[in-house]
Amino acid sequence: MSIIDWFAKKEKSTGSSERLNIPGDVWVKCTSCSEILFQKDLESNQKVCPKCGFHFRISPEERIRYTFDTNTFIEKDTTLGPTDFLRFFDTESYADRIRKAQSKSGKNDAVVSGTASINGLPVNTAIMNFAFMGGSMGSVVGEKITRIIERSVEDFKPVVVFTSSGGARMQEGIMSLMQMAKTSAALERLTEQRVPYISVLCDPTTGGTSASFAILGDINIAEPGALISFAGPRVIEQTIRQKLPKGFQRSEFLLAHGMVDMVTDRRELKTTLSTILTTLSIPREPI
């Protein structure tokens, strides 16, 4: 699965701006155009390179700030956390990996979920966090995504999910695979209830995440330049033994191949989301 690429690239430069910080947190180099940017300028531009438009990966906190009305985000299911139920040990134990990721991020797992509003429109929402173990989907991610969907089945609020994930979390074995089915099944109920679901696919969205809730939006919006794939580029290269074309599996490629509705600049996302949600939502009261 494409999480291979995440592991392979772990040490290399990525879209994550933290890795590129020059000491002092004042300057940052653009991954794409190599321009040296003033950190504050970048942040005030929603972490989009003012020169080339490159979209840096952002944290859930930043996403919340850029997308939702001020102070409207209320986190849910905050205590939900992972457990090493297989007692999985590779080069280190899953239990240790969890502890490290948690202490580094201050978060329990790779998704933050809750309620919020976008230009006054209430939504149930989840934001994946690539910085937490490559945004991999284990039981916690699956459960939290499923819960926000199930809440929307009840309260009719549209669902907005921001994905960023290398795929399934191998340390949870088959249980991580089953999260694909669990989240997709919840979406079946949502569809039946005629509640809109907007998926915002951010860099990267691959493997089991792409092949479940990420791609199943009534409307799929991709951030520019995001890697969106089922099989990772490396796996494909190994299979077909040739180099992949430039732009393969990037947002614009998916748009051309009919898989996403639009590629939207982060700075226009809030407006676009609010127009879409206003248009799609069936006017009604929650049950």
Partner 1 sequence: MKLLPFEKPLAELYDKIAQLRKLSIEGNIDLSSEIEKIESRAEQVRKEIYTNLTPNQIVQVARHPHRPDTASLIRLIFDTFVELHGDRLFGDDPAIVGGIATLGKFRVVVMGHQKGHDTKENIHRNFGMPNPEGYRKALRLMEMADRFRMPIITFIDTPGAYPGIEAEERGQAEAIARNLREMAGFTVPIISFVIGEGGSGGALGIGVANRLYMLQNAVYSVISPEGCASILFRDSKKSDIAADAMKITATEIMKLGIADGIIQEPLGGGHHDWKMVAQRIQETVQAELLNFKSLSGNEIKAQRYAKFRAMGRFLEPLE
The answer to whether 206 touches 227, Cβ cutoff 8 Å, is: yes
Helix ranges, 106-232 (H): 139-155, 173-192, 207-210
The torsion angle over the Cα atoms of residues 84, 169, 163 and 199, rounded to 10 degrees, is: -100
Stretch that binds partner 1, among 46-54, 68-76, 123-131, 233-241 (CB under 8 A): 233-241
Shortest Cβ 47–partner 1 spacing (Å): 24
Q: 102-131: which residues touch partner 1 (CB under 8 A)? A: none
Stretch that binds partner 1, among 14-22, 26-34, 53-61, 270-278 (CB under 8 A): 270-278
**Interface pick for partner 1 out of 49, 219, 226, 269 (rule CB under 8 A):** 219
Closest CA to 224 of 54, 62, 13: 54
Q: Is the CB of 3 or the CB of 37 nearer to partner 1?
A: 3
Q: Is the CB of 127 or the CB of 168 nearer to partner 1?
A: 168
From the list partner 1, Zn ion, none, pick the one residue 95 interacts with, judged by a Cβ distance below 5 to 8 Å according to partner type: none
Look up residue 218 and give its DSSP letter.
S
Residue 85's identity, in one-letter code, is: F
Q: Is the CB of 30 or the CB of 58 nearer to Zn ion?
A: 30
For β-strands 262-263 and 219-222, DSSP reports them as parallel
Q: 63-92: which residues touch partner 1 (CB under 8 A)? A: 77-83, 85-86, 88-91
Shortest Cβ 250–Zn ion spacing (Å): 16
Q: Does 101 bind partner 1 (CB under 8 A)?
A: no
Q: Does 225 bind partner 1 (CB under 8 A)?
A: no
From the list partner 1, Zn ion, none, pick the one residue 32 interacts with, judged by a Cβ distance below 5 to 8 Å according to partner type: Zn ion
Shortest Cβ 35–Zn ion spacing (Å): 5
Question: What is the rounded distance in angstroms from the CA atom of residue 173 to the CA atom of residue 94?
Answer: 11
Shortest Cβ 36–partner 1 spacing (Å): 34
Q: 126-185: which residues touch partner 1 (CB under 8 A)? A: 139-140, 142-143, 146, 168, 170-182, 184-185
**Interface pick for partner 1 out of 40, 154, 194, 247 (rule CB under 8 A):** 194
**How deeply is 280 buried, as exposed, middle or buried, from its count of CB atoms within 10 A (0-12, 13-18, 19+)?**
middle
Q: Does 4 bind partner 1 (CB under 8 A)?
A: yes
Q: Does 275 bind partner 1 (CB under 8 A)?
A: yes
Q: Is the CB of 15 or the CB of 158 nearer to partner 1?
A: 158
Q: How many CA atoms lie within 13 A of 74 on its CB side?
A: 7
DSSP 88-141: -BSSSBHHHHHHHHHHHHSSSSSEEEEEEEETTEEEEEEEE-TTTGGG-B-HHH
Residues 6 or more apart whose CB falls under 8 angstroms from that of 60 comprise 107, 111, 112, 127, 128, 129
Shortest Cβ 283–partner 1 spacing (Å): 9
Shortest Cβ 34–partner 1 spacing (Å): 29
Residues 6 or more apart whose CB falls under 8 angstroms from that of 68 comprise 116, 117, 118, 125
Q: Is the CB of 33 or the CB of 262 nearer to Zn ion?
A: 33
Residues 6 or more apart whose CB falls under 8 angstroms from that of 34 comprise none
